[in-house]
Amino acid sequence: MIFSAIAFALMGSVVKYLSTFNVYQVVFFRSVGTLLFTIPLVLKARVAFFGTNKKWLIIRGVTGVISLTCFFQSLNYLSIGTAVSLRYTAPIFAAVFALFFLKEKIKPIQWLLFFIAFLGVLIIKGFGTDVEFLGLFFVILSAIFLGVIFVVIRKIGNTEHPLVIINYFMLMAFTFGGLMSIKYWEQPSLIEWVLFISTGVFGYFGQLYMTKAFQAEETNLVAPIKYLEVVITIIIGTFWFGDIYNGWTLLGILLILSGLIYNIYIKRKST
């Protein structure tokens, strides 16, 4: 999970560095880098390339593209650490969607923890350093659709191979990003080509090692380690991009992480 957190943090940081390019072009290259791994692996696994639950796979792909695009767009307005922290509010929306669509119950203590996490969002917006409303809008929208993704994947369950689910997402991102970026295309330099492709590589290995972590150990042990990504991105943001995080921003991030990590503990303890 530590390797996964590092990979996702590096992916987000490279995307932040490439934010001078149009977001659609970034989405396109993000998908290319991952498809280089997923397509051969799906073919090697000899599973149905387009899956069986096509409706839910398409919904997962579309919501994934929206969430990814909104997150990348938010990096044009927010520091990398703040954006990643705010996107981690997704479990709140996932729990609410699961309550209505999957009839999963939410304990009173979980509502309190969600409130604490959301209070962190309000503190960051109200007292954080240079938190633009447009950036906040995009990253919360990204978190909402990420919450939908969690519920859709739960709905799909074990009926589809994980690689097929990822492949659907990346193929749709490739199509959407490719078509939308035609109008805004800028020719990357050699270094920028490498960085663009690296976003997909980092994204793939982040997903791979996260999956391996959940397969190797209990969820309540490894899941909180995923939030190490926030710490890593704050460090990268400070030294690479010169981001400044005041005390209020750090307090907001702490409330978000505390509320969501303890929620994982409570949820797993009751299962």
* Average pLDDT value for residue range 228-241: 92
CA–CA separation, 24 and 174 (whole Å): 10
Task: Identify the weakest region by mean pLDDT among 157-161, 168-172, 181-185, 251-255.
Answer: 157-161
Q: Which two tokens stand for residue 239?
A: 């030294």
Confidence of residue 143 (pLDDT cuts 50, 70, 90): very high
Task: Identify the weakest region by mean pLDDT among 44-48, 108-112, 214-218.
Answer: 214-218
248 belongs to a structural domain: no
Q: Which residue has the higher pLDDT, 127 or 113?
A: 113
CA–CA separation, 127 and 145 (whole Å): 26
What total of structural domains would you count in the chain? Answer: 1
pLDDT reading at 127 higher than 80:
no
Report CA torsion sign: 226, 227, 231, 236: positive
Task: For residue 185, give the 3-state DSSP assignment.
Answer: coil
- Tens digit of pLDDT for each residue in 181-199? 999 999 999 999 999 999 9
Q: How many helices (H) and strands (E) does the chain have?
A: 12, 0
Greatest alpha-carbon pair distance for the chain in Å reads: 54
Element (H, E) at 8: helix 2-17
The DSSP line for 94-150 is: HHHHHHHHT-----HHHHHHHHHHHHHHHHHHHHSSS--HHHHHHHHHHHHHHHHHH
118 belongs to a structural domain: no
Give the phi and the psi of residue 166 in degrees, each rounded to 5. Answer: -65, -40
- Containing structural domain, residue 167: 2-112+132-242
80 belongs to a structural domain: yes
234 belongs to a structural domain: yes
Task: Identify the weakest region by mean pLDDT among 37-41, 89-93, 117-121, 158-162.
Answer: 158-162
CA–CA separation, 234 and 187 (whole Å): 30
122 belongs to a structural domain: no
pLDDT reading at 266 higher than 70:
yes
Residue with tokens 């919450």: 147
* Average pLDDT value for residue range 204-211: 88
* Average pLDDT value for residue range 124-151: 88
Record the pTM. 0.91
The DSSP line for 39-61 is: HHHHHHHT--TT-S-HHHHHHHH
74 belongs to a structural domain: yes
232 belongs to a structural domain: yes
* Average pLDDT value for residue range 19-35: 95
* Average pLDDT value for residue range 112-127: 90
* Half-sphere exposure in the Cβ direction for 251 (13 Å, CA): 12
Quote the mean pLDDT of the chain: 90
pLDDT reading at 87 higher than 80:
yes
Predicted pLDDT of residue 105: 86
Confidence of residue 6 (pLDDT cuts 50, 70, 90): very high
CA–CA separation, 32 and 270 (whole Å): 41
214 belongs to a structural domain: yes
Predicted pLDDT of residue 123: 92
Confidence of residue 226 (pLDDT cuts 50, 70, 90): confident
